[in-house]
Amino acid sequence: MGDSTRLKQILANLIGNAVKFTPEGEVVIYVSSTVIEGGEGEENPNYELRFAVKDTGIGIPTERCHRLFQPFSQVDASTTRQYGGTGLGLVISKRLSELMGGKMWVHSKEGKGSTFNFTLRTKAAPNSSPVTSQQGERELMGKRILIIDDNLTSQKILINQTQSWGMFTCAVDSGEKALEWLKQGITFDVAILDMNLPDMNGLELVREIRKQPNCTRLPLTMLSAITETERTFQSSEEEFVAVLCKPVQRSQLYNVLMEIFSEIPRAPIRVTQSQSVQCSEKSLMGQTHPLKILVAEDVVVNQQVIHLLLEKLGYCADIVSDGQEVLEALKNFAYDVVLMDIRMPEMDGLTATDHICQNYAPDKRPRIIAMTAESMEGDRERFIAGGMDDYICKPVRIKELQEALSLCQPRSESLAIEPKILNQLRNIAGKRINGIIKGYLQDTALRIETMNKAIEKRDTEQLYQAAHALRSPSGNLGATNLYYLCKEMETIAREGSLEEASERILGITMEYDRVYYALKKDLCGNPYPKHTRTHG
């Protein structure tokens, strides 16, 4: 049945591929659900979830689509040279969907784009209840909204969202068509318009709308790209009540519309990716010093206080309740900072820190800041000796928190190959380096396939041997991330956790794609640069 970790891995692979093979255009994810096996009316019925990742990228010839789900297969050699990769990620993703009772398939047209579909089966969450209309939605019911956006996908999303709140929608794809409606005397309660339209930009359209007799006080909301948001907001602040950064989140749009139709006087609103609604205020630390933060705290009141303090500094944070949940969270996301309570149930902060230090290289682990109500002499030294990087007392004060976070740095995307290590090997091996790299790539592909087969056969010894055989040469060539992933797989194999192995093999496969691309560049006569980053 459905598993959230596997689902994240499948989506990460499909979305990553879609972005990689789409130099311009868009990537859209669709999700739908169907009750299966006569589950209607049951307390916790079974569902089939269907996902579709659609892109407008380079596409694939129809006759070659079947090759995509074969190990170590690309559509053709030119694709491999330009984009890199082995195709293993799709093989593993397909197998993960099948393990969850589903299947995977693709529709594609060369030059037009691709849609990768997959399904999985799952039960409804226990004690879950249907989402009911929010009280505030009554204020939106029956309101007339004009949507002006030439991107049909964006337009469709806005229509679905606003209609779900009971609003009457009129959508057009150009400024000229919008003005035609308004000149006919058709009235609206609110309008949403894109900054970039084919016939005029959003600011020009705003000026034309304001010339219409029935539109002098029409609330206008501008949709703007991330890079344009600041310019849009400053250039014509008085003309519209909000600027929404695309892609627009449902909650952001809802909050803005509720603000528009509330009785409370309003100031212009600017909504960005990292904030829900931000009014005029001094520059926040979260904007000038962005960090991905995980909070580990078991007391709910303390969780709420720390969340509010971080929010005031301009940060969003994920929150977990014990050390074991910290370790699970780090498997799924690369955090820059962990605010770690010392005393927690299941696994305390020091034990969790010890696990992190054992399983992550120093430059791959987050900065860990201890939080404790105990302020005894020697505590700081004890926590630092335990692998933590800093220490703040509870109750947490915003000034101390700000100072601790100022010492943290965002983790840059790690390199697939460490240039220093590879260059050292090149100096030792001389002309033989190309043969070493070719042999490594061939052996690695076979060892990953061996790991796959070992998982299918539930052969933990074979799994361990394959991971162990891959770990050392990966480290010697500078594939540090792959080295540590293989080390984790060795541990998993020794513990006999085949369920976890099925999830981790995709991470190894995706990392090998990056390594493969980086080393292929080296073989083609482009020695791996010392200060550039390669994407797999």
Distance CA 347, CA 369 (A): 16
Mean pLDDT score, 190-213: 90
In this predicted structure, the answer to whether residue 103 has a pLDDT above a threshold of 70 is: yes
460-469, 515-524, 527-536: the lowest-pLDDT one: 527-536
Q: How many CB atoms lie within 10 A of CB 513?
A: 24
* Residue-level pLDDT at 115: 95
Confidence of residue 384 (pLDDT cuts 50, 70, 90): confident
In this predicted structure, the answer to whether residue 240 has a pLDDT above a threshold of 70 is: yes
Q: Name the 3-class secondary structure at 191.
A: strand
Structure tokens at 39: 């589950």
In this predicted structure, the answer to whether residue 264 has a pLDDT above a threshold of 60 is: no
**Helical (H) or strand (E) element with 71:** none
Mean pLDDT of the chain: 80
Mean pLDDT score, 235-239: 53
Mean pLDDT score, 173-190: 93
Confidence of residue 166 (pLDDT cuts 50, 70, 90): very high
222-231, 330-339, 385-394: the lowest-pLDDT one: 222-231
Mean pLDDT score, 458-477: 94
User: 79 or 284, which is more confident?
Assistant: 284
* Residue-level pLDDT at 282: 34
* Residue-level pLDDT at 28: 92
- The residue behind tokens 């984009």 is 83
Biggest alpha carbon distance in the chain?
Answer: 80
35-44, 238-247, 405-414, 471-480: the lowest-pLDDT one: 35-44
Cβ(342)–Cβ(299) below 8 Å: no
* Residue-level pLDDT at 414: 66
In this predicted structure, the answer to whether residue 298 has a pLDDT above a threshold of 60 is: yes
* Residue-level pLDDT at 404: 92
Distance CA 531, CA 479 (A): 16
User: 529 or 36, which is more confident?
Assistant: 36
40-44, 67-71, 112-116, 164-168: the lowest-pLDDT one: 40-44
* Residue-level pLDDT at 375: 63
pLDDT digits (tens, 9 = 90+) for 47-60: 899 999 999 998 88
In this predicted structure, the answer to whether residue 283 has a pLDDT above a threshold of 70 is: no
Mean pLDDT score, 372-392: 80
* Residue-level pLDDT at 144: 95
**Helical (H) or strand (E) element with 142:** none
Distance CA 155, CA 157 (A): 5
* Complete domains list, the chain, with CATH: 4-123 (3.30.565.10), 137-271 (3.40.50.2300), 291-406 (3.40.50.2300), 419-523 (1.20.120.160)
DSSP secondary structure string for all residues of 468-507: HHHHHHHHHHT-HHHHHHHHHHHHHHHHT-HHHHHHHHHH
Distance CA 92, CA 503 (A): 9
pLDDT digits (tens, 9 = 90+) for 415-445: 788 888 998 999 998 889 999 999 998 899 8
User: 363 or 310, which is more confident?
Assistant: 310
In this predicted structure, the answer to whether residue 454 has a pLDDT above a threshold of 50 is: yes
